[in-house]
Amino acid sequence: MRMAEFHNMKSEDLKRRTKQFALRVIRMTDSLPRRMSADVLGRQVLRSATSVAANYRAACRGKSKADFIAKLAPAEEEADETVFWFEMIAESELLPAAKLAELRREANELTAIAVSSIRTTRRSLANSQSAVRNPKSA
């Protein structure tokens, strides 16, 4: 399997994973009690969680490594923000922390994946730029 095929397979898996995460958060927000605080927190977590999937999808269509990084950074931020909203929902006792544990774990993993992907791509970009500047060292 060529590297490009491997990368495409991984990116398609992550597209599905981020979309499934967003769908699970949609169902979770629908289970929140009908209160003003739940409405506000639910809208926030719904917005951030669905943005993870949308921003990851946009990053996959990046035209360059730099464009990929620029488009993936918001996915990282939104995944981390989603963890915050889960904490707020649990700590305000709108839902039990145990009910949110799996979603919170997934949000943390998606954050870590985005951070790792950005770091790896930055290194790759720096190495390719270095090779262009110093062709003898390549």
What's the number of domains the chain is made of?
1
Task: Give the predicted TM-score (pTM) of the model.
Answer: 0.83
Q: Are 51 and 78 in contact (CB under 8 A)?
A: yes
Residues in contact with 113: Cβ distance below 8 Å, sequence separation at least 6, in sequence order:
14
State pLDDT tens for residues 68-116.
Answer: 999 999 999 999 999 999 999 999 999 999 999 999 999 999 999 999 9
pLDDT at 6: 41
CATH number of the structural domain spanning residue 78: 1.20.1440.60
- Between helix 65-91 and helix 36-60 the angle, nearest 10°, is 160
Dmax (CA) of the chain: 66
Range of the domain at 9: 3-137
Alpha carbons within 13 A on the beta-carbon side of 11: 17
Q: What are phi and psi of 35, to 5 degrees?
A: -140, 160
